[in-house]
C-alpha cells in the first residue's frame, strides 16, 4: 500500500514538452524569416 502512494505515477514521470523536430522547425523558421521595411510597409521574406 505504501508503495502505491510513494511510487510516482506515470503521468508525473513524463515531462510534457514539444518534440525536438517542432523546436528545430521553429528555430529554422526564425533563421529563414526576414522582415524588411520599405517606407511604412513591412515585407516578410522566407528564405529557404
Q: Measuring CA to CA, how many Å separate 28 from each of 6, 14, 16, 21, 42?
A: 42, 27, 22, 10, 21
Site membership for another protein, residue 17 (CB under 8 A) = yes
Report the residue number, 15 or 48, with the smaller CB distance to another protein: 15
| Residue 19 φ then ψ, to 5° | -65, 155
CB of 3 to another protein, least distance (A): 27
Per CB under 8 A, 12 contacts another protein: no
Q: Applying CB under 8 A, which residues contact another protein?
A: 15-19, 22-23, 25-27, 29-31, 33-35, 42, 44
Amino acid at each position: 500500500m505504501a508503495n502505491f502512494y510513494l511510487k510516482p505515477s506515470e503521468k508525473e514521470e513524463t515531462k510534457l514538452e514539444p518534440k525536438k523536430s517542432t523546436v528545430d522547425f521553429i528555430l529554422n523558421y526564425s533563421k529563414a524569416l526576414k522582415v524588411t521595411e520599405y517606407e511604412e510597409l513591412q515585407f516578410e521574406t522566407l528564405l529557404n
